[in-house]
Structure 1
Amino acid sequence: MLVIDRILVPHDFTPASVRVLPHGLALAARMEARFYVLHVADRSDAPYPARALPAVRERLQQAGVVSEEALRAVPIEGVSRKDGGVAETIHRFAREEEIDLIALGTRGRKGARRFLTGSVAETVIRRAERPVLALRGEGAGAPPVPGTLDRILVPVDFSEDAREAGRVAAEWARFFDAQVDLLHVVTGGSASLPDQASSVSDEEHGGPEKTARRALAAMGRGLGALGVPVAVHVRTGAAAPRITEFVEAEETDAIVMSTQGRAGLERFLLGSVTEAVIRHVPCPVLTVRSYGRSIRALAD
């Protein structure tokens, strides 16, 4: 089961920050978690970071995502901290308050004092010792809020980090009654298949696509045993563009992916790919890794 007791949203009063607030608050209401809104300030008279939440609560109520009672029961704490380095302040606060999940927008204000612009968001994601839910700050229309998730995508390179992403996605799918899509992208010259599959030639297996599909199916059977529907998909090409194309074609509601894959020149889910996906997809991306704080309490 998912274990999320404390959710943090870094907030700088930009559209990107406002856009991610409904996701954090809806999750807090659904999971009965405490909700923190953190503003990293550069002056002592910084605005109260939770001031936008009444409008967000009203929007969620109107959408019928969670009940009014659940929303009003969420303990909310707005916090301002003096800037000692934005990403560092976010990580320090997360450690101090034992945050389980960080939700952030990936665009912020321009200029030297910009807050959640790409470089800061990427630093948070790369260094986080806990899962991060990232949502691109631009896009047409409102993104789906938690509670309306039907399809969750897991890009897979068969590393332990990607397998952990699959396990987290399965628990997420159980909570939201959603389907898990496992996607492997076969890249040119990539040695991304699991060791037991790569020990046999692609010709014996029927080619790299069929080999990958068999390996995905085996992974899917393990996740399906948790009681969630699982579908497997194989694409060929560059990882980030194929993942983005899949999201758009299949109307994916959320992505769970690792922030690091296999070592070596042909790493698949290394930060650059994850960051490229976050920049281009309209849906939330939950990044996880096989170490650090987990939101999954699951007997394997």
Structure 2
Amino acid sequence: MLHIKRILIPLDFSPASVAAAEYALAFGKELEAEEIHLIHILVLGPANDLYTDVLDVQDPQHHLQNLPEEWQETWHRLQHQVESAGYAFVPGMLQSDSITTPLVKYAQTHQIDLVVMATHGRTGIAHRLLGSVADGLIEYAPCPVLTLRADLAEKSYRDVRKILVPLDFSERSAEALRVAREYAQRTDAGLTALNVIARTEHSDLPASPWEKAYNDKNPDVRQIHKLEAFIRYAGGPKVRLQTALMYGDPVEASQIYLEAYPQDLILMSTRGRSGDGLFHYGSTAEELVRRAPCPVLTFKQGDRIRFKHARKKTSIAEA
């Protein structure tokens, strides 16, 4: 099963980042996470996203005393919530003139299994940390990243019972589906495997995303068969799973589906094989992360994903 032991939560003390931290505590309990790494970055000069040296503050409590009193209260409250929930609390403060780089380095050196953060904040540093830095972590962090829009982060945590998995037939989306099945088995959630056919691929597609064709001469039936074969190839534990086929722009079609059938979580790969998947980050996936009406858990090529039990390899011929 999916094994999330260490969760990293970047904190800039904005309401969105605090709410994301509280969301992470509830999310982590479903996965039996053990450690919460709460990290604040002491920015030295103008923040930038260039490579920079990172200094690990050896005594976080000492530097905490130099922060505004309201921030200190927030830190201690979160620490109490972390420890009361049964997690090991690992505080950290980093000094750097960038934001993305130290978080990526920290995740690498501390073998972080999951990063949880909001996708945008208010203004100034908060906006920079929770906006472009979320993009940077999704692109460069060595592990999956769970992002929430700021307005969603500030709502109460809702148990994950419905999961949407966009599939583009890449190897990475196959792994995302397998991870989703592991998670769904653990939480008794239901899955929807969504595939979007771009209109440029077929000139005879229906005008409406909802219009269906039911004979084998039409592309949607062939695509459903292909989708079902891909699901068998991806493998994973047996869970409640249904397929969905939409037409048109991947983001717009996904939005239409999510409005009609609200989900608790989107779990997706952000790059296909060699970065050529439909949902590769920088285009479709980036827009979906920013506009999704629910939290988004993203994976990419090279992420460290740990399972408590080894997976039996399956070939496409065996699926």
The question of whether the paired residues in 2 share the 8 Å contact of 1:21 and 1:56 is answered with no
Identity of counterpart residues, as a percentage?
A: 31
**Could you tell me how far 1:276 is from its partner in structure 2?**
0.8
Tell me the residue number matched to 2:218: 207
Tell me the residue number matched to 2:43: 42
Q: RMSD of the TM alignment (CA)?
A: 2.7
Secondary structure of 1:206's counterpart equals coil
1:139-288 matches, within 5 Å, as 139=152, 142=155, 144-145=157-158, 148-190=159-201, 205-221=216-232, 226-261=237-272, 267-271=277-281, 272-288=283-299
The question of whether the paired residues in 2 share the 8 Å contact of 1:109 and 1:116 is answered with no
Q: Give the distance between the partners of 1:140 and 1:81, measured in 2 at CA.
A: 24
**Could you tell me how far 1:278 is from its partner in structure 2?**
1.4
2:130 to 106, 109, 117: 117
**Could you tell me how far 1:38 is from its partner in structure 2?**
0.7
Secondary structure of 1:152's counterpart equals strand
Q: Give the distance between the partners of 1:205 and 1:263, measured in 2 at CA.
A: 32
The one-letter code of the counterpart of 1:85 is S
The Cα offsets for residues 85-116 of structure 1, whole Å up to 9 and x where unpaired, read as: 11101111111111011111111242367442
Tell me the residue number matched to 1:199: none
Q: Give the distance between the partners of 2:217 and 2:115, measured in 1 at CA.
A: 42
The question of whether the paired residues in 1 share the 8 Å contact of 2:42 and 2:95 is answered with yes
Q: TM-score, normalization: structure 2?
A: 0.77
Q: Give the distance between the partners of 1:144 and 1:90, measured in 2 at CA.
A: 25
The question of whether the paired residues in 2 share the 8 Å contact of 1:168 and 1:296 is answered with no
2:116 to 84, 103, 111: 103
2:144 to 116, 126, 131: 131
Larger-gyration structure (1/2): 2
Structure 2: gaps of 5 or more residues? 45-62, 203-214, 313-319
**Could you tell me how far 1:54 is from its partner in structure 2?**
6.2
Tell me the residue number matched to 1:299: 311
Question: Deviation above 3 Å: which 4+ runs of structure 1?
Answer: 27-30, 46-50, 54-57, 112-115, 219-225, 295-298
The question of whether the paired residues in 1 share the 8 Å contact of 2:6 and 2:37 is answered with yes
Q: Give the distance between the partners of 1:234 and 1:294, measured in 2 at CA.
A: 28
The 3 A distance-change label for structure 1 pair 72 and 113 is closer
Q: Give the distance between the partners of 2:236 and 2:172, measured in 1 at CA.
A: 20
The Cα offsets for residues 191-246 of structure 1, whole Å up to 9 and x where unpaired, read as: 9xxxxxxxxxxxx9533322221122223345676121110000001001111222
The question of whether the paired residues in 1 share the 8 Å contact of 2:19 and 2:154 is answered with no
Structure 1: gaps of 5 or more residues? 58-69, 192-203
The question of whether the paired residues in 2 share the 8 Å contact of 1:50 and 1:78 is answered with no
The 3 A distance-change label for structure 1 pair 284 and 255 is same
Q: TM-score, normalization: structure 1?
A: 0.81
Q: Give the distance between the partners of 2:172 and 2:136, measured in 1 at CA.
A: 18
Tell me the residue number matched to 2:105: 92
Tell me the residue number matched to 1:12: 12
The question of whether the paired residues in 1 share the 8 Å contact of 2:182 and 2:236 is answered with no
The one-letter code of the counterpart of 2:115 is I
Out of 150-159 and 216-225, give the one that drifted further.
Answer: 216-225
Secondary structure of 1:234's counterpart equals strand
